[in-house]
A and B are shown apart, each in its own frame.
Chain A
């Protein structure tokens, strides 16, 4: 029996294998530079240009300059990685042109890494090898015990801690794969040996001893213990496993971010790209696809958390055979950037997810709706679509299967409401993006009246992984109600900002403290805001709660698209609530009165309170109006808009009362409620405050204590910022 799809995939994989093997044989040294919007902003382009000059000048032909997407380690960018054959990969942080010169001469030419600029590196020499133990909380946790035992064995044998590092990783994503292992039985964990890239499956002390003697001392791979499985995050961990920020994550949707060149189909195929699609087209069984998603307990990652399998089923069983599938890339929540990163760093994965979705629901055409503010994401997706069409992966007769399907990009134009699915459909139709009443739901009557499935970028990013590793595997990563992982955009007052992917059910505090490194400047955590303008605040007292759709909702917030803003004691909750309401008020499309007028009045009341003109009755008014707006608005945007107000009232009522009753802002943020004073004991009369005062309201002679004229002061805070003797008090 002819197997056109199988043959198509095999030919493609063979071609890619040969071409990458040729490249690897020629160029054994790989220098990796990130290329995404954040990386560019941090200066990665200049770094890449400088590298090209150095490589050319050195005349070396064995160096490959590898462009990748972004790893999501935003605050340390640009990041530059160096891989020398047989050595641990080294990543450098905040690289500039001068540092490129040092790295090139000392590390690449000289063989010695520039230790003090290595990403997240603490003092001391760099290890030569590393053994990374998988310690996912979901795989029965034999990891930590084995790791400690191994460290002790190393010490007994006198192997120095400096040459071999023993690390712990949160999860390789191998959970559940082990059951297929012939030697399965009893607790076991996985150990990744770097730089040899060997994955061992270890179940006891005997195995540890074999690795110690055979691998570390003898320099031979212990074939008996070599794992048959290829966990999903393996390639990622090989490159980034030594960095705590990364190895405490579980990368599924972001597995290729920072690993592959986003413009290279070959590299994506090398990561088993399009294998899932080939499998789907070979089986020709949409019910199998949807069944796996149901087993995976995959829920929409855009915010609502609706079951993806249920949504696809609804579209599938419609009588109307003209159907559409849409990828919602209108990421509008302030503080969220995971969709951008996935579109820019692993575009082929999203495209594959959409093609599979198109097949499962029986669509002929799909659309990417991407906001115009993301020019690089648009370029990368367009490039991916063109490449796929050229290679027979999109368009007519996909992979020789006889099935036709095509994708097209439509641009947003800066309207937040277009993230709402009925508004998004209007926008693709070329209309003003105003929502309409549901039902009918888009799966019933959507784009041009036909059944339409709309899913978020991250949802599509998970599809190929689920089909490759099975729905059961994906479900095991998460909780009882929601399978898999979720990507969060960690930002605000946190040390390590960036993209964090963790299994659902991970405690919030683990994300903020273990991965994020805690609050900046040694300040106290006050709250964690999740879900953007439609979400709410989780007070520090609830920081140990598990991240999942239901617990967040119970606490008065939502999962939303995954924005996670860390707020410290320096942030005023009334002010932040006002910020979000101002956002929703500005973005309200104006179609329905509760949202249009409700958000406006809410904003007016909050402004009154932050200006010190609030009354106690305002709190009741706020609550009543917020509930009204929640109950009666037409679309999800209006219904969710009052959430920040309600959740801040619930958890931080005391702060509202301080503003109203004491006319005092505890965080000293609300300008109308603070003033500045100069402490005469501390002031040395350096005059820097007076020179920087825009209102010229600071008087005082040189070397004498200065005084602020409160009547003329505009409270800009310049004096507070510039004083080197902390003599200016904000009260």
Chain B
């Protein structure tokens, strides 16, 4: 347990315990390892990436824990987390569907694919399906324009996609989610 020289409050050890309990080991190790580095505050974005990789989103508690442990004002941590599109402040479904709305996809009918996804899932961009399996987002170009229009599910890219292929695609991920559930 480290004591923070900059915040000699009576209850810091107790507070620190609480904050540390909110973050996974690898993130704590990363923060601890960087503490004495020059410009360690510049690793805030990298830290937030790790937290989001672990939890799938950045909750208010996570932001506060990062702020306290890195000794960066919560206002700044929140400012950074809300500035960048990549950070999500709400929990999301098991699979994140990113519909590419870049130029190449747009001129090749990405809007129709997006509409079909919304119809099938019954949700709009930024929402999560009731069963918690899918979240729907739009993105600007995933850089696979040759396959336009594309949809990225998790880290997998699918394309070229016609609206008619959407139900089968969703079905395959539903099956994967069910399989995972069965294992648990």
Q: A: which residues have CB within 8 A of B?
A: 37-38, 40-42, 73-75, 77, 331-337, 340, 372-375, 410-416, 427-434, 448, 489, 491-493, 497-498, 529, 532, 563, 565, 567, 571, 576, 579-580, 583, 587, 589, 694, 716-717
Contacts and interface: CB of A to CB of B under 8 A. Distances in A.
**Among the interface residues B39, B80, B101, B103, which one has the most CB atoms of the partner chain A within 10 A?**
B103
B150 interface: yes
B104 interface: yes
Interface string B156-173: 111100000000000000
A410 B39 CA distance: 13
Nearest to B44: A430
Contacts of A589: 83
Contacts of A336: 141, 143, 145
A571 B107 contact: yes
Interface residues of B, number: 43
Nearest to B81: A413
A565 B104 contact: yes
Contacts of A413: 45, 48-49, 84-87
A669 B86 CA distance: 31
Given A337-B145, A491-B148, A579-B103, 20 more contacts: A37-B142, A38-B157, A41-B159, A42-B147, A73-B146, A74-B146, A74-B147, A332-B141, A334-B103, A334-B104, A334-B106, A336-B141, A340-B143, A373-B139, A373-B142, A414-B86, A415-B84, A430-B42, A576-B103, A694-B119
Given A430-B80, A492-B107, A571-B107, A373 B44 contact: no
Contacts of B123: none
A48 to B, nearest CB: 16
Contacts of A694: 119
B140 A41 contact: no
Nearest to B148: A491
A69 to B, nearest CB: 14
Contact of A565 (B76, B107, B115): B107
A567 B107 contact: yes
Contact of B42 (A37, A412, A429): A429
Nearest to A40: B157
Contact of B102 (A73, A334, A428, A433): A334
A676 to B, nearest CB: 15
Contacts of A77: 146-147
A37 B157 contact: yes
A716 B118 CA distance: 14
B107 A430 contact: no
B4 interface: no
Given A414-B85, A432-B80, A491 B145 contact: yes
A580 B87 CA distance: 23
Contacts of B139: 373, 414
B5 interface: no
Contact of A532 (B49, B80, B103): B103
Interface in B15-66: 39, 41-46, 48-49
B156 to A, nearest CB: 7
Contact of B39 (A372, A429, A580): A429
A427 B42 CA distance: 8
Kindly list the 6 A-B residue pairs having the minimum CB-CB distance in the complex, ordered from nearest: A74-B146, A334-B102, A414-B86, A41-B157, A413-B84, A337-B143
Given A373-B142, A411-B45, A491 B103 contact: yes
Contacts of A563: 103
Contacts of A492: 103-104, 107-108
Contacts of B44: 430
Contact of B144 (A74, A415, A576): A74
Contacts of B49: 372, 411, 413
A75 B108 CA distance: 13
30 contacts: A37-B143, A37-B144, A40-B156, A41-B150, A74-B146, A335-B104, A336-B145, A337-B144, A372-B86, A410-B46, A411-B45, A411-B49, A412-B84, A413-B45, A413-B49, A414-B84, A414-B87, A415-B85, A430-B39, A430-B43, A432-B79, A491-B103, A491-B104, A492-B108, A497-B104, A497-B145, A532-B103, A571-B107, A576-B103, A580-B103
